[in-house]
A and B are shown apart, each in its own frame.
Chain A
Amino acid sequence: MNTEALKDLLYKIADDQLILGHRNSEWTGFGPLLEEDIAFSSMAQDKVGQSWQLYQMLTELGESDPDTVAFMRNADQFHNCQFVELPNGEYDFSLIRHFLFDTAELIRFTMLADSSYEPLAQLAKKIKGEIKYHKMHADIWIKQLGAATEESIERLQKSLDMAFPYALGIFEPSRMESEIISEGFFSGEEKLKTEWLSKISEILDQTSLTLPDASLQTPVYGGRYGTHTEHLQPLLDEMSEVFKMDPTADW
């Protein structure tokens, strides 16, 4: 088994979950409606929990323990796509990111449920059931606000146009993409992207929103190789502040 390729795959998925989970948690106490406050907080808890399970799998493959991996690395050691580290912005941007990212996540974990690495396949079967609720939540709001008032449509469209090149960065091929595919760990980013485009169109077609033409966009790459925006390091500093006060503390 090509363990390096497997680790490469697990790291990027786990880092995506952790960073977006943290961003979602920033809505706790600030949601536009109480229900949305709870929704983003719940999705945060799901995603951080899922990242823990993935880091735990990495620990079993010889990496450090989950807390050390999550809290002691610097930005250039993270493999998340840049999309998930962008600040929450206004609710319209958070909602669009939630929709674009979680649609990809649901497809990713559905594909991973067939992974040749059995522990990953088992975990993916669990996670896909959870992410289904995230996608359901996103779809409800995109359909509703994407066909509501002039302002809601305009805001969402603006966020969609801004977010789209970053969303394409989710599918940046890994350093070990061909090994990941040939080992049967995952059937690859390209396949995921194709299915994602069709799934997001399915929802957007029911709204007044227009999907930007993917072929005319330059995807924002770099995240999978440790290149990040200026927004990631401050997020990591805040996230690990308590842990770093005393890394040996027993909670």
Chain B
Amino acid sequence: MVSKLTEEQIKTWLDEVKDPEIPVLSLNDLGVITDITIEDSGKVRVDMTPTFAGCPAMNVMKSDVENVLEREGIEDFEVVLSFATQWNSNMISEKGRAALKKFGLAPPPKHNLIVDIELIEHAKCPQCGSENTEMKTPFGPALCRSLHYCHNCHQAFEQFKPL
């Protein structure tokens, strides 16, 4: 007897799908999986929301999710990308924040949805933990990253931008 498929089970499968640009961060921890539903017919629907409107990795993430569902034997599924829930960086989980830091990226500071220059400028160095840092530019190698310099350990570092 096969046990009944649950939303929780699907979510666990999706843990292996990582952000293609930050391979230590799962989509669950990034917060872009906004809903998982199993309809009465057995059809599985996964809702996702882009981090940035122009993020080139979104379609890769979507097909990665589709591949996992297919591999797990789900025959009837749909992965929907929409802005119905707007992603913000507070949606990155604690586990995700720890993974970012380990990867060498400063996690985005939690905010009250008011993102201003003060918030972005004061990044904590992911290497030495110092707050004696300076923002070099709010634009980095990917849309979601800004560039900073640490005056304590004299290293440049990147921050996952608060949004």
Contacts and interface: CB of A to CB of B under 8 A. Distances in A.
Contacts, number: 72
B127 to A, nearest CB: 21
Given A35-B136, A52-B54, A126-B53, 8 more contacts: A48-B54, A49-B52, A49-B54, A49-B55, A49-B56, A122-B83, A126-B87, A133-B161
B117 interface: yes
A151 B63 CA distance: 52
Interface string B49-91: 0101111100000000000000000000000001110111000
A137 B138 CA distance: 7
Interface in B87-115: 87-88, 115
Interface residues of B, number: 25
B163 interface: yes
A44 to B, nearest CB: 9
A127 B141 CA distance: 19
Residue among A53, A125, A132 with most chain B CB within 10 A: A132
B48 to A, nearest CB: 13
Contact of A126 (B56, B83, B120, B138): B83
Contacts of B147: 35, 38
B138 A50 contact: no
Contacts of A179: none
A39 B54 contact: no
A136 B138 contact: yes
Interface of A: 35, 38-39, 41-43, 45-50, 52-53, 119, 122-123, 125-127, 129-130, 132-133, 136-137, 140
Residue among A42, A50, A130 with most chain B CB within 10 A: A42
19 contacts: A35-B136, A35-B137, A35-B139, A38-B137, A39-B138, A43-B139, A45-B54, A45-B56, A45-B143, A50-B54, A53-B53, A122-B83, A122-B86, A123-B83, A127-B53, A129-B88, A130-B143, A136-B120, A137-B137
A39 B86 contact: no
Interface string B25-58: 0000000000000000000000000101111100
A43 B55 CA distance: 12
Contacts of B163: 129-130
Contacts of A127: 53
B85 to A, nearest CB: 9
B139 A42 contact: yes
A112 B82 CA distance: 17
A1 to B, nearest CB: 19
Contact of A133 (B55, B88, B139): B139
Contacts of A50: 53-54
Contacts of B141: 38
